[in-house]
Structure 1
Amino acid sequence: MKLKPKITIADHFLGIEDPRIDRTKRHNLIDIMTIAIIAVICGADGWVGIETYGCAKYEWLTTFLELPNGIPSHDTFARVFAQINPQQFQSCFLDWMKSIQKVTNGEVVAIDGKILRGSYDTNNEQSAIQIVSAWATTNKLVLGQIKVDSKSNEITAIPELLKILELSGCLVTIDAIGCQKEIVRLITQQNADYVITLKKNQGNLYDEVEKLFQFVISTGFEGIEHSTYKTEERGHGRHEIRHYMMLSGIGSRLNPDSVWSNFNSVGMVESVRSLNGETTVETRYFISSLKSNVEQFANSIRSHWGVENSLHWILDVALREDDCRIRKDNAPQNFAILRHIAVNLLTQEKRRKRGIKNKQFLAAMDNKYLLSILALA
């Protein structure tokens, strides 16, 4: 009789339809998916690595998987994940993440895109795939992802991602490409707040906001509700001062026809950076549903910028996403989900004060530690 460790992967992925025809089913779909998820958690970055891990851990895997014909080949892993419906995989992934941890009230959720640089295929004229992800900055969880259509851009992908997320009580941050009325409407429909970067080609709004800040500063903010905040950072020869300013109660002035949902304030960040004797100044403008909380505004901006270090850096350095050459059919999108599962579970494991890469190394060597990571699910 086989022992069953506390692994609930099968429960989360029962909703995925097996894309194979009956005569090709030498291996159970759940066995294939379980080995792939565990292997990526332990550091596998491709189909050969997944097969290698499976063969090395065969005896242990047989304690909870059927494996009627042994460990699948790397070609089998590649073929199956190229066929699996990514929407079904995504849905199962979302259900799993919701079971791990609920997003807390006030959580800053950064929506950001990332190009999978290794997914391009010049022979088939396939450009690199882009994935838009939602990252809970405090809980450090990938909440969901969606692939950008090859003939479109993030503007069409972000609304589709917002529709599958639960954002009530959250504060959503998006770069300038997300400065769209429909995107703002979808956020506010979920009873969430937003802070979105203004883009210069956003009609006249950017110019109006820029002129408004110049005017109120020159007149000493007369008749305008405002608040300010300042941060200063030093390190590695860099000195940066950020001045945050928020103007509230300006909806009737900048949004008279209410075309922007819950447009309550505008924000400005002036960053003065000194590095190696050179000083640069950058000014950004934002629209927001926040009414009057400049520190919350500042925190949301810093949290959004931090997604590069908190998520993208981990994906590139620890999980080697940019080096991955997986590019056939649905495989790139599905492997991206595998990486996000690994990032979430490894990040949520708090007992070992180690970086993601060392956690992967330890999980590959120590089955008990691996089980403690999987128990988070």
Structure 2
Amino acid sequence: MNTPTTIFSGVEDPRQEWRCLHPLENILFIALATMICNGEDFEDMVIFGEQNYEWLAECLDLSNGIPSHDTFNRVLQRLRPDSLLNSLKEDGQQLLDVVNEKQVILDGKKLRGVSPNQKGNKGLYILSAWVGENNICIGQQKVKNKSNEITAIPELLDSIELAGATVSIDAIGCQREIAQKITQDCDAQYFLSLKKNQRNSYQIVEDAFRFHNPSKFDLMIEDGHGRKEERKCTIISMASLPEEEQLTGWEGLKTIVKIESNRNVKGKESKQVRFYMSSEEISDPKYYNLLARGHWSIENQLHWHLDVTFNEDACRARKDHSAENLNILRKIALQRISRMDDKLSKKKRRYKASMDHNYLISIIS
């Protein structure tokens, strides 16, 4: 089994060594195992430790017993998230060799349980970098108070290795400076959602498809559970447009994309047109249709599971760094649960791990 040393060896202990009764690795390992085994908060960590004392004693130094609720609370409040975040990155890298030719999705999520408790505090908002193909989080960045994702995105891009990847970001990240950073600094490609917040660029792209109307397209159809959706994707190479119709100021821009969605949910129809900008020069519309669809995997496979499988929004831990550190531990737990090769849902895997030590060991190791 992976020991605490292998999982959390690089995490810096914020406590004074002479006052510590419990090694930091013990606290973090029990916290992670609790998350895997259907636990949610500091009280659950104590219960898990007490109920699994003999098993834990085989791999941990429990000479001072199981840490108390207050100990778990204090440590996770004081622990620097960037130190614990390295464990998340390293855990992801063990499961993912390289991001070359993979789609890396950047998107944010607010932890609803972390309510503002003082003037000017907007709560905790986390921007994550997600590899949808492998269901792995390779980095995250806290969005600071009185700020937004636009300032957090460059910091996140600087913290992860992206060479050869295609970075997809929603409309808030559709900025010239971010496009330039992805192509020049990160040696990667971009796929940016374009909306009317970029008024001039949006108008130029909209007019390009209105006047040129490409004949080549890709049609994707999804049908099931009372929902049917058709997505038609057409593309235009920037090189094919007359000079006066060129979209300038966007570093590396090669292709503009239009996706027309027609959705029918239980008889109710809705239509939507979305535009994207890409630094890639692939001539097959299906490729861009898959990128647009793949972008939503961060909502379906990460944010949804944090909320529903791990009940993150109900967590009331909010003091100092506790909410952010618990979010990181949940992501490590989710990555390891997702690796299991069985037919159980992720929620059922957590339940089974809480009753079967061998199954828990197979998740952790």
Query: Could you tell me which of 347, 352, 362 is aligned with 1:362?
Result: 352
Q: Pick from 109, 126, 150: which aligns with 1:155?
A: 150
Q: Alignment partner of 1:119: what SS?
A: coil
SS state at 2:66 partner: coil
Q: 1:254 matched to which residue of 2?
A: 246
Task: Flag the 1:124–1:335 CA change in 2: closer, same or farther, 3 A.
Answer: farther
Once the two structures are superposed, the pairs formed by residues 255-334 of structure 1 within 5 Å of their partners are 255-256=247-248, 259-291=249-281, 292-334=283-325
* Range moving further from structure 2, 148-157 or 103-112: 103-112
Which residue is 2:133 aligned to? Answer: 138
Q: Given the alignment, which residue of 157, 160, 170 partners 1:165?
A: 160
Q: Which runs of no fewer than 5 residues in structure 1 stay unpaired?
A: 1-5
1:48–1:74: 8 Å Cα contact kept in structure 2? Answer: yes
- TM-score, structure 1 normalization: 0.90
2:122–2:146 CA contact under 8 A, matched in 1: no
Of 55, 61, 64, the match for 2:59 = 64
Listed one character per residue, the Cα deviations across residues 277-311 of structure 1 (whole Å, up to 9, x for unaligned) are 43221111111012123111110110112322211
1:17 pairs with 2:29 = no
In 2, are the aligned partners of 1:103 and 1:136 still within 8 Å (CA)? no
Q: Would you say 1:96 and 2:91 are equivalent positions?
A: yes
Asked if the contact 2:163/2:188 (under 8 Å) is kept, the reply is yes
**Cα distance between partner residues in 1 of 2:352 and 2:119:** 39
Q: Aligned pair in 2 of structure 1 residues 19, 191: CA closer, same or farther (>3 Å)?
A: same
> Where does the alignment leave 5 or more consecutive residues of structure 2 unmatched?
none
1:211 aligns with 2:207: yes
- What residue is the counterpart of 1:3 in the other structure? none
Question: Residues 41 and 200 from structure 1, CA distance in 2 versus in 1: closer, same or farther, beyond 3 angstroms?
Answer: same
Displacement, 1:23?
A: 4.5
- Say whether the 8 Å CA contact 1:240–1:273 is kept in structure 2: yes
Percent identity (aligned)? 39
Q: What TM-score do you get using the length of structure 2 for normalisation? A: 0.93
The letter for the 2-side match of 1:254 is Q
Conserved in 2, the CA contact under 8 Å of 1:121 and 1:327?
no
**CA distance in structure 1 between the aligned counterparts of 2:98 and 2:216, rounded to whole angstroms:** 28
> What is the distance in 2 between the residues matched to 1:334 and 1:178?
25
For the residue of structure 2 that corresponds to 1:97, the secondary structure is helix
CA displacement at 1:101 relative to structure 2: 2.3
Counterpart AA for 2:105: A
CA positional deviation for 1:93 = 2.1
Structure 1 match to 2:174: 179
Deviations 1:212-245 (A, max 9, x none): 111112xxx5xxxx74111122223333221111
State the 1:151 CA deviation: 1.4
CA contact (8 A) 2:35 2:329 kept: yes
RMSD: 1.8
Report if aligned partners of 1:28, 1:67 keep a CA contact under 8 Å in 2.
Answer: no
**SS of equivalent to 1:111:** strand
Report the Cα offset of residue 148 of structure 1: 0.7
Separation of aligned partners in 2, 1:99 and 1:10: 15
Match of 1:337 in 2: 328
